[in-house]
Amino acid sequence: MTTMENPTAHGSGNAATDKFKSERVTSDTSVERASAIYQDVIGAFADIIQKHQVTYDEYRVLKQWLIDVGEYGEWPLWLDVFLEHEIEKVHYNRKGFTGTKGSIEGPYYVPDSPKLPAKCTMPMREKDKVAPPLVFKGQVTDLEGNGLHGATVELWHADEEGFYSQFAPGIPEWNLRGTVEVDENGNFEITTLKPAPYKIPADGPTGWFINSYGGHPWRPAHLHLMVKAPGKRAITTQLYFKGGEWVEDDVATAVKPELILDPQPNADGIDEVTYNFVLDPEA
Ligand code: DHB
Ligand code: FE
């Protein structure tokens, strides 16, 4: 993976692009469906151009910007911030699920993180411990509330500086990433730390884009989760922290009220929170 000396738009963009390209994705979209979508996309562009009387200068700036986003490797970043939340809504609604709400995956998921036991501490460096510790526990169940033996809770999140391992330089490969295997009743108890808010790299074309309309590049502090169990629909989601900065104004529009945690100090004075994951049957 490509990372540079300092975390830059170029560095994290290229790392995210390399990871995405390695997946070689496909889709079974029919020609009819592709035609319908294509016509609507071109029609939407036509409407916008007419509505705003877009000029040749603006068109040329757009062309240059699109070239720059590709050259900086920032398409995974830009797309996951500005479009993925809408795709996720369709994904959730189309199937009529009633279990735990999903949220965007974002560009920094890596499969096959190290397996950890149901009661565990996330891999972290000494220096990460400046962040407040967090005990995150709960149960993975089916719709009837039965604990799901065999479920896994994959957790990945940024460190105290807002950086993700494998996408910023100098961080151990699996730092703050793990695949937790729940106990026979579906329970888990993970000690980790509270991540910092995440700032989209602002020194590249995604940052220029945000500046161009006077926006901000911040996401609220969040935990990323992928929860799976045999015969159940896997969910990809994120959890946020009540009262945290940017919770009400996430640049990626990915916060849902059901996904906000409110940790409280436990008997040891460490912030602790319980969150249960409810999985629908496989479609
Ligand atoms: C982006 C980064 C994230 O950590 C996330 O959760 C969503 C989007 C991004 O930079 O595109
Ligand atoms: Fe993230």
Strand 271-274 to 260-261 pairing = unpaired
Is 143 in contact with 98 (CB distance < 8 Å)? Answer: yes
CA of 10 to the centre of ligand 2 (A): 17
Q: Nearest C-alpha to atom 9 of ligand 1 is from which residue?
A: 77
Ligand (nearest to CA of 84): 1
Ligand (nearest to CA of 103): 1
CA of 238 to the centre of ligand 2 (A): 8
CA of 55 to the centre of ligand 1 (A): 32
Name every protein residue with a CB atom under 6 angstroms from any ligand 1 atom: 77, 80-81, 104, 106-108, 198, 200, 219, 252
CA of 260 to the centre of ligand 1 (A): 17
Q: To 10 degrees, what angle do helices 205-212 and 9-21 make?
A: 120
Distance of CA 73 to the CA centre of its chain: 18
* Residue 200, both tokens: 């989209």
Q: Nearest C-alpha to atom 7 of ligand 1 is from which residue?
A: 106
pLDDT at 213 > cutoff 60: yes
pLDDT at 148 > cutoff 60: yes
CA of 81 to the centre of ligand 1 (A): 6
Per-residue pLDDT at 5: 47
Q: Nearest C-alpha to atom 8 of ligand 1 is from which residue?
A: 106
CA of 57 to the centre of ligand 1 (A): 30
What proportion of the chain, given as a percentage, has pLDDT over 90?
91
Q: Nearest C-alpha to atom 11 of ligand 1 is from which residue?
A: 77
What is the mean pLDDT of the segment spanning 234-249? 97
Per-residue pLDDT at 201: 87
Mutation test of ligand 1: which of 12, 108, 223, 259 has the most ligand atoms closer than 8 Å to its C-beta?
A: 108
pLDDT at 243 > cutoff 60: yes
DSSP string, the chain: ----SS--HHHHHHHHHHHHHTT-------HHHHHHHHHHHHHHHHHHHHHHT--HHHHHHHHHHHHHHHHTT-HHHHHHHHTHHHHHHHHHHHTT--SSPP----S---SSPPEE-SEEE----GGGGGSPEEEEEEEEE-TT--B-TT-EEEEEE--TTS--TTTSTTS-TTTTEEEEE--TTSEEEEEEEPPPPEE---SSHHHHHHHHTT---EE--EEEEEEE-TTB--EEEEEEETT-TTTTS-TT----GGGEE--EE-TTS-EEEE--EE-PBP-
Q: How many residues does the chain have?
A: 283
Is 185 in contact with 137 (CB distance < 8 Å)? Answer: no
Q: Global pTM?
A: 0.94
Domains and CATH numbers, the chain: 1-283 (2.60.130.10)
pLDDT tens sequence across 48-82:
999 999 999 999 999 999 999 999 999 999 999 99
pLDDT at 4 > cutoff 50: no
What is the mean pLDDT of the segment spanning 227-246? 97
pLDDT tens sequence across 158-197:
999 999 999 999 999 999 999 999 999 999 999 999 999 9
Per-residue pLDDT at 9: 76
* d(C-alpha 38, C-alpha 19), whole Å: 27
Mutation test of ligand 1: which of 198, 225, 240, 246 has the most ligand atoms closer than 8 Å to its C-beta?
A: 198
Which of these, 184, 163, 283, lies nearest to 235 by C-alpha position? 283
